[in-house]
Structure 1
Amino acid sequence: MSQYKTKRGALNKPKLIQLIHIGKSKLCLDDDTYRSLLVAMTGKDSTKAMNIYELNKVLTRLKQLGFVVTHKKKDPKPIDDKASLDIEQQIKLIRHLWLDLHALGAVRNESEQALATYIKNQTQTAIDDLSGEQASNVIERLKNWRKRV
């Protein structure tokens, strides 16, 4: 089996071929040099004709020549894009959602006082003292309420 693993086990053939081609590019191998390397390692001049064992053998040789396999770093996505907003933007969004709910008939009183009372009941915190996490929770509750209307 391959010594190069993915989350689900051994690398599959297309992934190995992809890594070999990346290695060829990173090592700046011209086509003739690349093909002679393949033939020297496996007796075949194309990666498509190779089996997994032969592909691993070629990849190991490319690593010996200086190719380093790097993993693409994925940017972590925020759990909720609203959580990344600063608190002022979150409060602005809360007010907007509150007015939307009023327009839909779900909220009888659109006043700032009614909103402040709602937030106080939900978080035990005044609107001006909300943390980012509390504001995110209020936003999610209002959005869910809007979905139900």
Structure 2
Amino acid sequence: MKKAPSNPNRLPLIKLIHVARRELHMDDDTYRLMLASMKGLDGATSTADLSVPNLVRVLEQLKQRGFTVRPKNAQQRPMATDGPSRKIRSMWLTLHGLGAVRDPSEESLAKFVLSMTGVAALQWLTGPQASRVIENLKQWQQRVELASTAAKEGV
């Protein structure tokens, strides 16, 4: 198939489509099948083959599947850098590395902390709240590691 003509609007659309794929946890085969099944794309299975109007159609299809575009300049709060916050973040990323946390982002961590403490940001946690989060993460990590060990031993 012939590559689509060069257009300065193509690259940002292609990047956004790939962000959508990642956020929707869409594997390569599923994504290519979605493209191939879309009417009007002439069986294209890659964004490299698509024109800007067709890239927009693909993005709309991904939005229908649950993707939401977030503005690039969305207000982000500064990352908490105190000791307990760094410990919490480190444990969160460790759990992600173990496969227990799907989304390692600061936003996801903030939602977890909010659900546990009612506080929407690490930097606003009191000492006892931070300790509660740390202890919960420790217990979670122990359960994950125990399950992993048991699975390896075939128990």
The TM tier, using the shorter chain, reads 0.3 to 0.5
Larger Rg, first or second structure (1 or 2): 1
Please give the TM-score of this superposition, normalised by the length of structure 1.
Answer: 0.41
